[in-house]
Amino acid sequence: MDKQKETFVSAWKNRKGPAVFTTVSKAGIANSIYVSSIEIDDEANIIIADNYFLKTNQNIADGSKGVVLFITNNDKSYQAKGTITCHKTGPTYDFMKSWNPTKHPGHRAIVLQISELYSGVTQII
């Protein structure tokens, strides 16, 4: 794993509270939601459980890219931007089901493949 991804993984392991996941509609209207059912995989992709998405699902279906914003226990902010894929079966879906609370439906595993990463205003990736 390269140094930039190591920085991200270290920050992720030190995050506090839910993250914010943002997508954009075809009309350019942003939709942000808090997500607590969220993890990273071995490739440092962000995996989000689609538990109760509505506008988010429509934006994803329309080809939106995504942004995840989180803060660390040291009050340092990180913003990850990238493309989105969705999985209803397979290893990524199974991974999501392994940590998503059983009280939530976990309809799909949403994957944000990071193409840009910022800590505050500093671009890391």
- Domains in the chain and their CATH numbers? 3-123 (2.30.110.10)
Q: What pLDDT is stored for residue 3 in this prediction?
A: 82
- Return the structure tokens found at 43: 């490739």
Give which of 52, 83, 49, 51 is closest to 66, Cα–Cα.
Answer: 83
pLDDT of residue 1 exceeding 60:
no
- Return the structure tokens found at 78: 């990180």
Distance between CA 19 and CA 69 in Å, rounded?
6
Distance between CA 97 and CA 91 in Å, rounded?
10
Whether the full predicted model's pTM is greater than 0.75, yes or no, is: yes
Give me the count of residues in the chain. Answer: 125
Question: How does pLDDT run across 80-125, given as a tens digit for each residue?
Answer: 999 999 999 999 999 999 999 999 999 999 999 999 999 999 999 8
Residues 6+ apart with CB under 8 A from 43: none
